[in-house]
Amino acid sequence: MDFNMKKLASDAGIFFTRAVQFTEEKFGQAEKTELDAHFESLLARADSTKNWTEKILRQTEVLLQPNPSARVEEFLYEKLDRKVPSRVTNGELLAQYMAEAASELGPTTPYGKTLIKVAEAEKHLGAAERDFIHTASINFLTPLRNFLEGDWKTISKERRLLQNRRLDLDASKARLKKAKAAEAKATLWNDEVDKAEQELRVAQTEFDRQAEVTRLLLEGISSTHVNHLRCLHEFIESQTTYYAQCYRHMLDLQKQLGSSQGAIFPGTFVGTAEPASPPLSSTSPTTTAATMPMGPSVADLAPPGEAALRLEEVAPPASGTRKARVLYDYEAADSSELALLADELITVYSLPGMDPDWLIGERGNKKGKVPVTYLELLS
């Protein structure tokens, strides 16, 4: 009992001494031991690493889960060390609604058939998103959290100990200074000087030891950067895989829809829209790429029932020509078509009776049919 009371009194005395030293330093009434420039640089780098890791972690969580309520729920499950329940992604929910709509509105109608196709694609997109979130959480978010909740807490603890050791050291220096001043006034040897010098030696030893421990931990931030760099590469790899899967699913869907759109909306003109990728279709058996759109033969340049126009005899109209930028490379299927190179500019125009999916294109002294879906018409 007496031992515990003495220990509590000693701890209270140390705390009071540190508080006094800290306060006097703030008011400029006491000297403060400064750390070397390299140590201060290590401290600044550690603080910066911690702050940016927190920001990157929080924003990545927002990227993977935009719903704040869902993020709070996942946080609580994590703190309770319980498995987060499986959650349906937005894409999977949209797929479910589309499938149910097709069933009710008629799965054999053109609209119902399209809903079913789109629903299947959205289902695949939702599954790909789920895999991406899972992979990114393990390979990227977890290492960042481990640093903040593990390594950083250890560094913070040792830094607090170093601060206390520095306060003890500076308080010992102040006591020794006062003892020497009192001895000089008394003109005799004061036992307090020996005691103060002994306390200073002990305080200096403890400070130096703690400074070395803290320095080693701060230098370990370099290893943290290397680890986070590896995790960042893995995050980008998973993100690349996710978007590649989405792209493939949408290409498949575009191909399916393109094969049926012509039968539902024949002659639809879509040349003013700029697609995100080369258009897909399965209507042409003659082109080198079976999925690329193909137009009519040269005979289709003339109205039905009239003789086919010879391409070299076709003259551009007096008005109505436009400039167009080529979006994708196109290989001519025959002599009636004009081969295209991406990003080049050509002159285009239409003739009466032409299929609206095609235009006449001119580049220098060359002329031929070009598919509208490969062009961006310029004003």
**Last residue in a domain, options 264, 293, 314:** 264
Q: What range does the domain containing 338 cover?
A: 322-378
E strands, the chain, in order: 322-326, 345-349, 358-363, 366-371, 375-377
My answer on whether 137 and 249 are in the same domain is yes
Does residue 340 share a domain with residue 219?
no
Among candidate residues 138, 140, 174, the one with its CA nearest the CA of residue 25:
174
Rounded distance, CA 241 to CA 231, Å? 15
What one-letter code names the amino acid at 71?
Answer: R
Q: List the CATH number of the domain containing 344.
A: 2.30.30.40
Instruction: Write down which residue in 233, 248, 264 finishes a domain.
Output: 264
Position 30 in a domain? yes
Q: Say what the pLDDT of residue 190 is.
A: 64
pLDDT in tens, 121-165: 999 999 999 999 999 999 999 999 999 999 999 999 999 999 999
Name the token pair of 322.
Answer: 């436009």
Are 153 and 220 found together in one domain? yes
- Is there a single domain that holds both residue 23 and residue 152? yes
Among 217, 239, 264, residue at a domain's last position: 264
pLDDT at residue 59, rounded to an integer: 95
Residues 162, 40 within the same domain: yes
pLDDT, position 286: 35
Question: Does residue 129 lie in a domain region?
Answer: yes
Q: Quick one: 355 and 238 in the same domain?
A: no
Judgement on whether residues 328 and 258 belong to the same structural domain of the protein: no
Is 1 inside a domain boundary? Answer: no
* CB 281 within 8 Å of CB 255: yes
Helix, strand, coil percent values for the chain (each to nearest 5): 65, 5, 30
Residue 6 confidence (pLDDT): 56
Is residue 291 in a domain?
Answer: no
Across the 379 residues of the chain, what is the mean pLDDT of every consecutive 10-residue run?
57 69 71 89 96 96 84 70 76 93 93 94 94 93 94 95 92 85 67 86 94 95 96 95 94 81 45 45 36 39 44 70 90 90 92 86 91 88
- Phi then psi for 346, rounded to 5 degrees? -135, 165
CATH number of the domain bearing residue 122? 1.20.1270.60
- Scan for tokens 């978010």, then name that residue: 141
The CA angle 68-70-73, to the nearest 5 degrees, is: 110
329 in a structural domain: yes
Domain-located, residue 79: yes
The span from the CA of 244 to the CA of 259, in Å, is 23
Kindly report, residue by residue over 42-98, the tens digit of the pLDDT: 999 999 999 999 999 999 999 988 878 777 777 676 766 777 677 788 889 999 999
Is 290 contained in some domain? no
User: Which pLDDT score is estimated for 126?
Assistant: 93
pLDDT at 100: 95
Q: What is the pLDDT of residue 12?
A: 63
The pLDDT value given to residue 268: 41
What is the pLDDT at residue 317?
75
In the structure encoding, which two tokens stand for residue 137, read together? 């959480």
Q: Cβ of 84: how many Cβ atoms within 10 Å?
A: 13
- Is the domain of 340 the same as that of 236? no
Tokens read off for 84: 């987060």
**How many domains does the chain contain in total?**
2
Looking at the domain assignment, is residue 272 inside a domain? no
DSSP readout, 207-273?
HHHHHHHHHHHHHTHHHHHHHHHHHHHHHHHHHHHHHHHHHHHHHHHHHHHHHHHHHHSTT---TTS
| pLDDT for 22 | 72
Residues 19 and 114 in one domain: yes
Q: CA torsion, points 94, 96, 97, 100, in degrees to nearest 10?
A: 160
Residues 328 and 256 in one domain: no
Q: Indicate if 250 and 346 belong to the same structural domain.
A: no
